[in-house]
Each structure stands twice: as C-alpha cells, then as structure tokens.
A = this chain, B = another copy of it.
Amino acid sequence: MASKAKVGVLGASGYTGSELVRMLLRHPRVEIALLTAERSAGKAMREVFPQFSPFPLPTLVALDGLDWVGANLDLIFCALPHATTQKVIKTIFAATPNAKVVDLSADFRLADTAAYAKWYGHEHLAPDLQKQAVYGLAEIHRREIKKAHLVANPGCYTTCAQLPLTPLIKAKAIELDEIVIDAKSGMTGAGRAAKEAMLFSEVSEGFNAYGVGHHRHMAELDQEFSLAAGREVTVTFTPHLVPMNRGILSTIYVRGRRGKTPEELHAILLDFYAKEPFVHVLPFGETPHTRHVRGSNMTFIGVAKDRIPGRAIVVAALDNLVKGASGQAIQNMNLMMGWPETAGIDQVALFP
C-alpha cells in the first residue's frame, strides 16, 4: 500500500472532531498528523476524550501560529465554530495551496453570499473562496466533489431532509408548496459547549420543539431544494430535541403531484439510491428508527401512505455525527482523494 496521507483535524475537542478521530484511527489510507483545540491546547487528546487513551495521537495545539507549510498536510478537516472558519481556511490555502479542505461548519454552504449575510448577520469573510466551494452531499453532488479542493460538508438536519426529498423534487413528483418537515435530533447536534439548556437534568425525560418558524438550517434547504426544482422552494421545518445522544429522524409530509401515488414516490427513491452504499430504502410501508443507523454512515428512508388520498409520509433516519457530519466528511475526503468511497466508514450500526 502507498504511504499514508497526512490529515489534520481542526477543532478536535468537539464531538464532530472526536468522531472524525474515531473513524480516522481505523482508516487504511490516513495518518492523523495534526489535532487542534483552543482551550485545550497543550493537552493530550486522552484528557479531553478518554476513550482515546489506548491510542497514540498528536498533542492538541492551538491554531494561532501554526506552521502550515511545515505541517505539510494533504487534507484538513475543519470542525471549527461558525465564522472563525472563513478566516482559517483563507490562511491555510494561502500557505499550502495544494491542501484539500473539508469544512464541517456552515461557513461555505451557501453559494449566495448575500443569503449568508442575511441568515448569519454579517458579511461573508472569504467570498472568493466561496466561489470554489462545493456543497458536499455525496449522493447529489458526487461529480463536483471529486474535483473540489474545498468542500462544504452539509448540516445534519438538512442532510436528513435532502436525501429523502431531493430525488422526489428532481423527479417533479411532489407538490412544492406543501412540504412539511418535522425533524427530531439527538443532543450531540447541539455540540459540546457548556450551556444550561443542554445539561442532562434539563434534557432527560422530556421533549420539545425549538427555533419554531425560524431556524438557520432553512437557508441551506432553500438553496438545495430550489436548485433541484429549478424554481424557488420554501418548506415548513420544525426541529425538536430528543433525550438521546445521536440520531436525527425527519417525518416529512408531502402530496404527490399529478396523481403520483405514495407507491410511486417510493419507487423513485428506491431507484435513485439503488447503487448507493450509504442510503437504504426500506420496503414500502416500513419506516426507520434512528437506533438502527447509530454509529454508522447509513441513512434509512421509508415511505408510507397517508390515509388522506394523494398524501404520503416519508421518514428518514441517520446518525447526526456520522452521515450528518464526520462520516459524510470522510466520504467527501475519499471522493476528493480518489479512494474507495466507503474506506474507513463502513462500520455496522451499534444496536442496542
């Protein structure tokens, strides 16, 4: 086997960072050469994530003053907070133009920098780079990803809405003005920052909606659905928090267009994903559980008939930290590097 590629993980002390490390440690083509963290700089990775105690890993370092040329990385995963990212990636490309970057933040997902400014409340800090960024949902944009050197990894909620809906929109099979997405996420989606609302005692044994009517993920959905439809599409989307660590489930209400039945919608999805290693369409009428994709890069999709004629209920489930973040990021790396697409991310789901 050829020598291993040197990869770095920026923001290794968060959950998407640790999830990258978990999978990269077993990736056959990769050497973990750099791990960064700001508040934990100087610590061993085992101090912030004890599960890595048995494994040799680089000490965490701060971003500031990093010698990018000396580091000589082939690919960098950027799992930094929103906004920081745009500046950091500019620096990286300035120093090492041949490096490839997979960015897990929202910073490069919106092609339209005006839309970015509207939803995020400030000007985009790297509009030139934005032009080169490719939106990294492999099942939809695989061809572009293979040629990209900067990939914007999709959000977890939006992945769990796009995978079931985009093929139906592309096939002009559903009404575009009546789509309702009721989404439910595990708590790791909220990240590792210490907030009162995310404490165990606040979350356990309860359930709630949040951001009702105005969630930032909507911008990303608008962009991708409009692209797929060839016209502007606006959907209703409500996120909820489930007292569990991992998993997103989207329950999606649609109406078939021009008499398309739920069975026909199912057939479209089955056909679209027939050869995909990471999307599995269940038999008609069955719907997925988040627990059946936990820890894996799989998305399960089910379609059922509503009792109101012409309407269908589409349900999708994925692990927000894997297919919804770090697994998708490695899938993007594999495509960008020309490696087998499933390398390092073929773990079978952990249930129970």
Interface, chain A (partner B; CB < 8 A): 15, 18, 22-23, 25-26, 49-55, 178, 180, 182, 184, 186-188, 190, 192-196, 198-210, 212-214, 218, 234, 236, 238, 240, 242-247, 249, 251, 253, 280, 282, 285, 287-296, 298, 300, 302, 304-308, 311, 313, 315, 317, 346-352
Contacts and interface: CB of A to CB of B under 8 A. Distances in A.
Contacts of A214: 307
Q: Which of A15, A25, A190, A350 is most buried by chain B, counting CB atoms within 10 A of its CB?
A: A350
13 contacts: A50-B282, A51-B348, A186-B207, A187-B200, A187-B201, A194-B198, A200-B202, A200-B245, A205-B246, A205-B291, A240-B249, A240-B251, A295-B350
A173 to B, nearest CB: 18
A53 B278 CA distance: 12
A247 B351 contact: no
Contacts of A295: 295, 350
Nearest to A212: B304
Contact of A184 (B18, B22, B240, B300): B240
Contact of A213 (B184, B236, B306, B351): B306
Given A212-B287, A236-B306, A246-B352, 19 more contacts: A22-B349, A22-B350, A23-B348, A51-B294, A54-B280, A54-B298, A187-B204, A192-B201, A205-B291, A206-B244, A206-B247, A206-B294, A209-B313, A234-B308, A236-B311, A243-B243, A243-B244, A245-B352, A295-B350
What copy number does this chain have within its complex? Answer: 4
Q: Which of A25, A307, A351 is most buried by chain B, counting CB atoms within 10 A of its CB?
A: A351
Contacts of A305: 213
Contacts of A193: 196
Contacts of A294: 51, 205-206, 350
Contacts of A251: 182, 209, 238, 240
Contacts of A184: 184, 207, 240
A23 B347 CA distance: 9
Contacts of A238: 251, 313
